[in-house]
Amino acid sequence: QICPTFSSSIVRNILVGFVPDEFCPDPIQDSLLQALELEDHLESSDKGIRAIPCSASPILYSYPASGTILSIICDPRKSGLAVLRKSNTSDDELDELSSPLSFISKVPTNPLAKLKQVSGSNTARYRLLHEVWKLDDQY
């Protein structure tokens, strides 16, 4: 007896739908299914749950209110650049936003040339980041 609450027909229907996977690669043996079917015929009709008591209703997705969306992304008539600035946090992404056409031009192969390029255009940002990191180390 597997579970006295459920009839053997319920257990059999569950096992028939079983698909082997990486957690249990062995299929259900036909002899077990036949034994459950035979036991189902021998059970009295009032013993155990013979049918699934309820069916699940379909999941309904409700879209968020437009006011909520507007509060997250700001006014759609404004430029989307503010949203992009909030989502891009790496230095490379910020550099790309400040000069998007620079990535189309030829990239210097010398790493020192690239370092000079970065230090010349965005030194204020790196100085501020350095100050913030120093403050974090103090706490």
* pLDDT of amino acid 120: 54
pLDDT digit string, tens, across residues 61-105:
888 888 887 777 765 555 555 544 455 566 666 666 666 555 555
- Domain assignment of residue 62, yes or no: no
Is the pLDDT at 116 greater than 60? The verdict is no
Distance CA 50, CA 11 (A): 10
AA identity, residue 67: G
Q: Are residues 125 and 85 in the same domain?
A: yes
In this structure, is residue 35 part of a structural domain? Answer: yes
Query: Residue 67: inside a domain, yes or no?
Result: no
pLDDT tens per residue across span 24-67: 889 889 998 888 888 776 666 556 666 666 566 777 888 888 88
Looking at residue 129, its pLDDT comes to 77
Buried b / exposed e across 9-24, counting CB within 10 Å, b at 16+? bbbbeeeeeeeeeeee
Q: How many domains does the chain have?
A: 2
Does any domain span residue 33?
yes
Task: Tell me if 107 is assigned to some domain.
Answer: yes
Residue 74 counted as domain residue: no
**Two tokens, residue 135:** 């403050």
What pLDDT does 20 receive?
87
Domain region containing 45: 1-52
Does 95 lie in the same domain as 46? no
* Residue 9 pLDDT > 70: yes
Q: Which residues pair with 115 in a beta bridge?
A: none
Dump the DSSP string for 70-133: HHHH--TTS-THHHHHHH--SHHHHHHHH-GGGGTSPPPS-HHHHHHHHHHHSHHHHHHHHHHH
Is residue 4 domain-resident? Answer: yes
Query: What residues form DSSP beta bridges with 49?
Result: 6
Mean per-residue pLDDT for 125-137?
A: 75
Residue 129 within a domain: yes
User: Residues 43, 86: one domain?
Assistant: no
Residue 3: both structure tokens together: 């579970």
